């Protein structure tokens, strides 16, 4: 027996329509449910690998995949700097920044400084005339004294002819530096003593000849 038996035709028509609507709604709901489940399964992302899973993620462009190395813990070198050591090395006497030899100005090796020049002038001088110009030794002695030299004797030398005015000294003594300084100052030569004056009194012996030019008014 049908569920619509006993109902009038209009009511049976309405019931059939309601059943049709319900069936259609059920069908639509099932289809919607199936589509929703598929979309959820399709949209699910694959699980990311966990550390130690054997897979490494591809680094983004521009980023370094190498792990940053820890700061170096090596101790700093304890060796002293060598720049100052090179500049403090002792140099040669007479170089700038280095002490010169006694009596020398810095940077002028081999030249007597002002103190040594003053010391040289206290070496005794003995001045002798070996020319026919009367009083030439006295004039030379006056020039030497005017320049601060220590003249202790003036006389004549008649034991031979001396070719040019010369200051004679005993090598290895203070006379050598004094004779060379005097000769340079007055424009004549300095030489070691020769045999004829080897045993003369100590001091620089200056034998002036006719080539000596007195400094008038000195």
Q: Give the C-alpha separation, 86 to 142, whole Å.
A: 53
Concatenate the DSSP letters of all residues of 27-42 into one string. Answer: HHHHHHHHHHHHHHHH
Question: Exposed, middle or buried: residue 106 (CB in 10 Å: 0-12, 13-18, 19+)?
Answer: middle
CA 138 to chain centre: 59
Above 60 in pLDDT, residue 100? no
Specify the pLDDT at position 19: 78
Higher local confidence (pLDDT), 84 or 166: 166
Mean pLDDT of 4-25: 67
Average pLDDT score over residue span 45-64:
43
Domain ranges of the chain: 8-36, 121-208
CATH code assigned to 121-208: 3.30.70.2390
In this prediction, residues 168-177 reach a mean pLDDT of: 97
Better-predicted residue by pLDDT, 60 or 121: 121
Nearest-angstrom CA–CA distance, 29 and 101: 117
Does residue 194 or residue 8 have the better pLDDT? Answer: 194
pLDDT at 5 over 70: no
Answering whether pTM is above 0.75, one says no
């Amino acid at each position: 027996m049908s569920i619509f038996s006993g109902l009038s035709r209009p009511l049976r028509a309405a019931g059939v329509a309601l059943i049709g609507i319900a069936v259609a709604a059920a069908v639509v709901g099932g289809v919607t449910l199936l589509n929703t489940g598929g979309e959820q399964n399709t949209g699910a992302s694959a699980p990311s690998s966990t550390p130690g899973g054997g897979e490494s993620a591809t680094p983004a462009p521009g980023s370094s995949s190498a792990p940053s190395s820890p700061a170096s813990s090596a101790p700093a070198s304890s060796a002293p700097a060598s720049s100052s050591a090179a500049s403090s090395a002792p140099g040669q006497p007479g170089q700038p920044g280095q002490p010169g030899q006694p009596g020398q100005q810095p940077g002028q090796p081999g030249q007597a400084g002002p103190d040594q020049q003053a010391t040289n002038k206290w070496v005794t001088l003995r001045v002798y005339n070996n020319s026919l110009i009367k009083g030439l030794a006295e004039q030379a002695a006056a020039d030497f004294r005017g320049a601060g030299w220590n003249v202790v004797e003036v006389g004549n030398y008649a034991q031979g002819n001396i070719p040019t005015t010369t200051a004679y000294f005993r090598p290895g003594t203070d006379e050598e530096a004094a004779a060379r300084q005097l000769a340079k100052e007055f424009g004549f030569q300095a030489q070691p003593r020769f045999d004829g004056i080897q045993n003369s009194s100590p001091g620089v012996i200056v034998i002036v000849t006719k080539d000596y030019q007195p400094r008038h008014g000195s």
